[in-house]
Copies of this chain bind each other. A is one copy, B any other.
């Protein structure tokens, strides 16, 4: 299998992904930050708690690809903003369960359609068949990258 020998940043997959991802994220963030004053990690927490109420910090961290420090901070901010409520677990004194407040639920209900609309707009670049194909390929790449990562960790252990 032949391989390129020079590197054009504009054609380089990691670079293109990074730029596209940043542009999509900031497009989306520009909508909810100015309207609701929440950051990207805060929005992710709201989104995941909207889907699955009562999660603990650790559960959120694993679902949202944030580290536990980032979760702690997002929780603190969202509690200050009265969008999230914390209730300590009876079963385990170390953990607490997190839920959206009424106000948090309202933010969720307002942002979800906006977020889906942005996604829909971006999908507008592709026809339905292309979209399905893209989804499939994206999944393949995701799996491949996480395999590569595991291999690398294994080697460096």
| Interface locus among A76-84, A97-105, A143-151 | A143-151
Given contacts A18-B25, A30-B152, A123-B13, contact A137 B144 (CB under 8 A): no
Given contacts A9-B51, A30-B152, contact A18 B15 (CB under 8 A): no
In the assembled complex, A118 has its CB within 8 A of some CB on chain B? yes
A side interface size, CB within 8 A: 62
> Roughly how many angstroms separate A32 CA and B60 CA in the complex, as a whole number?
31
| B18 and A21 within 8 A (CB) | yes
How many copies of this chain are found per oligomer? Answer: 2
> Roughly how many angstroms separate A131 CA and B1 CA in the complex, as a whole number?
13
> Roughly how many angstroms separate A25 CA and B27 CA in the complex, as a whole number?
21
In the assembled complex, A7 has its CB within 8 A of some CB on chain B? yes
| A141 and B126 within 8 A (CB) | yes
Residue from A112, A133, A141 whose CB has the most chain B CB atoms within 10 Å: A141
CB contacts (< 8 Å) of A146 on chain B: these are 23
| A3 and B122 within 8 A (CB) | no
CB contacts (< 8 Å) of A10 on chain B: these are 63
In the assembled complex, A70 has its CB within 8 A of some CB on chain B? no
| A48 and B9 within 8 A (CB) | yes
| B144 and A47 within 8 A (CB) | no
In the assembled complex, A50 has its CB within 8 A of some CB on chain B? yes
Other-chain contact of A23, B19, B48, B122, B145 (Cβ < 8 Å): B145
